[in-house]
Amino acid sequence: MEEEYSLDDPTRLVESASEFAYYPGPLTDAAAKDFLDRFPLPLIINALQTKADFPGLENAIVTCLERVFKTKYGSSFIPQYMSFVHVGLQAESQVVRSLACKTVTNLLENLDDKSIPPIKLIIDYNIYPLLLDSLVTGNEQVAAAAIDAIKCIAGFPEGMAVVFPANNKEVTYLGNLASRSSSLGRVRVLSLIVKLFSISKSVASVIYNSNLLSLLEAEISNSEDTLVTLSVLELLFELAEIQHSTEFLSRTTLLQLLSSIISNTSTEAILRSRAMMISGRLLSKENGFMFVDGSTIDRLLAQSESQDNDECESALEALGQIGSSIQGAELLLSGFLPVVRHVVHAAFDRQGHGKQLAALHALGNIVGESRPENSKILNADAEENLRRLIYEVGSDSSKLTPSGLFLSILQQASEFRLAGYRVITGLVARPWCLMEICSKQDIINMVTDPTAETTKIGMEARHNCCKAIHNAFLSSKLINESSLSGIAANLQEAVRRGPYLARKQSEAQPVVMTAERF
């Protein structure tokens, strides 16, 4: 084959590789075998090493090999070409380095030959240090591919010792790598740590015990470079999303550092905003109470009362995040009642557009709109405090009752109606709220009117609200009230119609027109 397709003119190789690389649909082992029978790997690799400057060759071959090595058949050849992977990880070409990183991933994910331990190949060919170098010095695509490969290595029990050496003086210890890297390199190392942390609780434990979370603390403490700090905060937000993060993050000073950022008025507003959101996310998680010392929530309350609209809205959104979990809602309504009082007052105060909207969505979270049906109702003390706050705000307003408050929100612009639907959807699980809703025919008329909303999200929010009222009605004592039978029928019909149907009759109607005369 090598003689038939001379490298003096690699045109046919480029054309065939391009056709193979961009052929639509999933790639089979048979297709990979057919291509390699026509163009053996030694020929392809030789062309990549000696003819890279031929127009289109490098990109065509790299893309082609990426697809070949994703197949079981193609990946079976990788152990024979580990020296190529080793060289590729040191190539000047970024696309070749990316290919080499992806080839490591394919080796670990697709190799079926159990007689060849893939981690032993990684060690024997000194691949891991080269992946780390690609992580901190490669372009964005190379760094992403390196992270994927390292994450795969850590997924093997024997690979854990490679990624997390017992001796933290090793050159491959991630803490040492971060210390000798540029600011961009440090952020990438932290990104790798977050990705590794997400693998499992056991890997997260190794990361914590290796003192690698301290790298995040150090970067957040050093707020001289706003872009770096913002990048690290985004990584911390990603970390907070991981299911098992609370147990480990609660042992660090990260929440205290976030609180310091929130309260430091000399810090960039965007950093304070992200710090608020991350704090809210951490405190909303199961066992989030492990973080609570009161100061963070107090600082969020202070920011939610700020005259700065952006900071106020971010703080309200963070408080809503805390209240989105049943633990967080009970925490706020039991131990931080002034916080919820402020949210409720702001939700029905028409003085500030953005502030009111953020408060309505925060209240929607606290009352359980985003929680499962069996997690909407809180403990008795929290429920009583919530009921009292809603009636307190109603009696202090010109609307006098909660039903008046709800109706006033539904009579505002579409974005407020959307938030209002969320609040009612969560609250109506309470009998007292259901009674308030049923006492206002105008509210029933609005939530059952299929023409009330014109956007998809608005139609769905209205219909979800209607379903919540209907379900609450069916499971309440009100179902036996003959005076409410009309409301029950309206709700049932509206639920049956669904969110989008704007007319009861959708059949085509005949149109009679006079004949046109010329």
Do 481 and 348 reside in the same domain of the chain?
A: no
CB burial readout 155-174, b (16+ within 10 A) else e: bbeebbebbbbeeeeeeebb
Lowest mean pLDDT among 62-66, 296-300, 341-345: 296-300
Please report the pLDDT score of residue 287 as a whole number.
64
Residue ending a domain, among 366, 397, 428, is: 397
Residues 381 and 417 in one domain: no
* Residue 423 within any structural domain of the chain: yes
List all residues 6 or more positions away from 270 whose beta carbon is below 8 Å from its beta carbon.
Answer: 226, 230
Considering the domain boundaries, does residue 132 fall inside one? no
DSSP state for residue 223 in the 8-state scheme? -
pLDDT value of position 113: 73
If asked whether residues 467 and 362 sit together in one domain, one would say: no
| Residues 441 and 306 grouped into a single domain | no
Q: Could you tell me how many residues make up the chain?
A: 518
Quote the pLDDT of residue 504.
Answer: 47
Share of the chain above pLDDT 90, in %: 47
187 and 235 in contact (C-beta within 8 Å)?
yes
Please name which of 45, 108, 103, 113 lies closest in space to residue 76, comparing C-alpha atoms: 113
Q: Are residues 389 and 427 in the same domain?
A: no
Residue 394 has pLDDT above 80, yes or no: yes
Which of 333, 364, 397 corresponds to the end of one domain?
A: 397
Task: Give the DSSP letter string of 103-144.
Answer: HHHHHHHH---TTS-HHHHHHHTTHHHHHHHHHHHS-HHHHH
pLDDT digits (tens, 9 = 90+) for 71-83: 999 999 999 999 9
Q: Is the pLDDT of residue 390 over 50?
A: yes
Whether the pLDDT of residue 85 is over 70: the answer is: yes
pLDDT at 506 over 50: no
- Domain match, 310 and 270 both: yes
Q: How many domains does the chain have?
A: 2
CATH of the domain at 259: 1.25.10.10
What integer pLDDT is reported at residue 483 of this predicted model? Answer: 75
Domain-located, residue 158: no
Helix axes 269-284, 309-323, angle to 10 degrees: 10
Residue 432: strand, helix, or coil = helix
Same domain, 261 and 284: yes
Q: State how far the Cα of 139 lies from the Cα of 148, in Å rounded to an integer.
A: 14
Q: Is residue 78 part of a domain?
A: no
What string of DSSP letters covers 341-359? HHHHHHHT-TT-HHHHHHH
Asked if residue 417 is part of any domain, the answer here is yes
Residues 302 and 276 in one domain: yes
> Is residue 291 situated within a structural domain?
yes
**Tokens matching residue 281:** 């996310």
Q: Please, what is the average pLDDT of the chain? A: 87
SS3 230: helix
Q: Which residues contact 454 (CB under 8 A, 6 or more apart)?
A: 414
- What gap in Å lies between CA 297 and CA 299, rounded to an integer? 5
What are 344-369's pLDDT values in tens digits?
Answer: 999 988 777 888 999 999 999 999 99
Name the residue with higher pLDDT: 504 or 283. Answer: 283
Indicate whether this model's pTM tops 0.85. no
Residue among 199, 193, 198 at smallest CA distance from 217: 193
Select the more confidently predicted residue: 107 or 20. 107
Q: Are residues 381 and 492 in the same domain?
A: no
Amino acid identity at 214: S
How far apart CA 409 and CA 403 sit, in angstroms, is 10
DSSP helix/strand/coil, 194: helix
**Is 426 among the domain residues?**
yes
The two tokens of residue 87 are 């060289």
* Closest CA relative to residue 150, chosen from 113, 79, 101: 101
Task: Look at 66-75, 483-492, 504-513 and tell me which has the smallest mean pLDDT.
Answer: 504-513
Q: How far apart are CA 3 and CA 39, in angstroms?
A: 11
Residue 205 pLDDT greater than 60, yes or no = yes
Predicted local confidence at residue 300, as pLDDT: 84
Boundary of a domain, candidates 397, 425, 447? 397
Looking at the structure, tell me whether residues 287 and 344 fall in a common domain.
yes
Q: Are 71 and 30 a contacting pair, CB within 8 Å? A: no
Give yes or no: residues 440 and 385 share one domain: no
Q: Tell me which residue range forms the domain holding 429.
A: 409-500
Contact between 407 and 442 (Cβ < 8 Å): yes
Q: Do residues 419 and 391 share a domain? A: no
* 296's tokens: 């963070």
Residue 303 lies in a domain: yes
Question: Within 10 Å of residue 480's Cβ, how many Cβ atoms?
Answer: 8
